[in-house]
Amino acid sequence: MKFLDQAKIYVRSGDGGDGVVAFRREKYIEFGGPDGGDGGRGGHIYFRAVSNLNTLIDFRYTQHFRARKGGNGAGSNRTGAGADDIIIDVPIGTQIIADDRETLLADLNEDGKTVLLCQGGNGGLGNAHYKSSTNRAPRRADSGYPGEERWIWLRLKLIADVGLVGLPNAGKSTLLSVASRARPKIADYPFTTLHPQLGVVRLNAVDEFVIADIPGLIEGASEGTGLGDRFLGHVERCALLIHLVDGTDENLAENWKLIRRELHAYNDTLAAKPEVLVMNKCDALLPEEIEERKAALAQVSGQDVHLLSGVSREGLPELLRFVQDRVTLARQQEK
């Protein structure tokens, strides 16, 4: 199934049914009277977050959603039937944004969360509603009220505890594959990851967290270079970021600065998230090279540097336990 995280769709709720003008003609009622019923309500448009979806690909092929009109009223004070509502299922983490692409209308970040986006129009009143002591035979009935319509954007932001960031070929997909059962594409050329990947890391029967891998960033990503920074939205909900740096690159300190600049250019809130700095591919370095580059990276970043080899898995258990402790602490603070 192809991954799609943005879609533009049109939604319209149903119009209300029309009221009617009708009069009784009964044998034993001397003067009869008005008995026109009201129109029924038009259908609502709801959005609901469900757990069995992880992409917006369905909205590429179905882009228009229209609820039905309410039924018209009838004689004998019969009200028109209300139209059925339309419930649109979306993945958990979907945001509903107005056509201006800035105004957030709803954030469906919990399983089963449901929002009413477009309300169906009310039915018009029949002439029975207007009878009075001075107006015994009203001939007025109202048309149904129109529903609401709008173009909206759906944007999916994956729900994950930890996000992986770094340059292409820093080893993010390899880390995801050895830490979880996810099987992302891995190759020795850049941009093998073309869309976000999720994996569940289970340390034991109790401790687990969700990790998200996004396509690599390069210089100018905030301006659209490479794959751009479009996919950074998928790590905005994360409690912390794992910043992977290729230890075999002599310019690893400058690479760290480059990614930090792109994060700040995208969103200061994202850049302010806690970061776990990891120097990867240590299996390809000599011990003295590891110490030298670790010290250089720690000096420029002001952080502790974790050592890792995604291939040999050296340093992986310690890293995952450290991340799990940080995630657990973040969850407790959120509660």
Q: Binding site membership for GTP: which residues?
A: 166-173, 191-195, 213-216, 280-283, 309-311
Q: Is residue 246 a contact partner of residue 188, using CB atoms and an 8 Å limit?
A: no
Torsion on CA atoms 280, 283, 284, 287, rounded to nearest 10:
100
Cα 278 from Cα 316, distance rounded (Å): 10
Cα 130 from Cα 253, distance rounded (Å): 79
Kindly give the residue spans of alpha helices, DSSP state H, lying in 6-122.
Answer: 58-61
- How open is the CA angle 134-136-139, to the nearest 5 degrees? 115
Known binding-site residues equal 166-173, 191-195, 213-216, 280-283, 309-311
Residue 13, number of CB atoms within 10 A of its CB: 30
Q: What are the two backbone dihedrals, phi and then psi, of residue 245, each rounded to the nearest 5 degrees? A: -120, 135
Q: How far apart are the first and last CA of the chain?
A: 35
Known binding-site residues for Mg(2+) equal 173, 193
- Order of strands, sheet of 114-118, starting from the edge strand that comes earlier in the sequence: 86-91, 45-50, 114-118
Identify the helix (H) or strand (E) that includes residue 293.
Answer: helix 287-301
Residue 173, number of CB atoms within 10 A of its CB: 24
Q: Is residue 55 a contact partner of residue 95, using CB atoms and an 8 Å limit?
A: no
Residue 24, number of CB atoms within 10 A of its CB: 14
Q: Is residue 164 a contact partner of residue 201, using CB atoms and an 8 Å limit?
A: no
Q: Is residue 159 a contact partner of residue 181, using CB atoms and an 8 Å limit?
A: no
DSSP assignment of 141-200? -PPPPP--EEEEEEEE----SEEEEESTTSSHHHHHHHHSS------SSS----S-EEEE
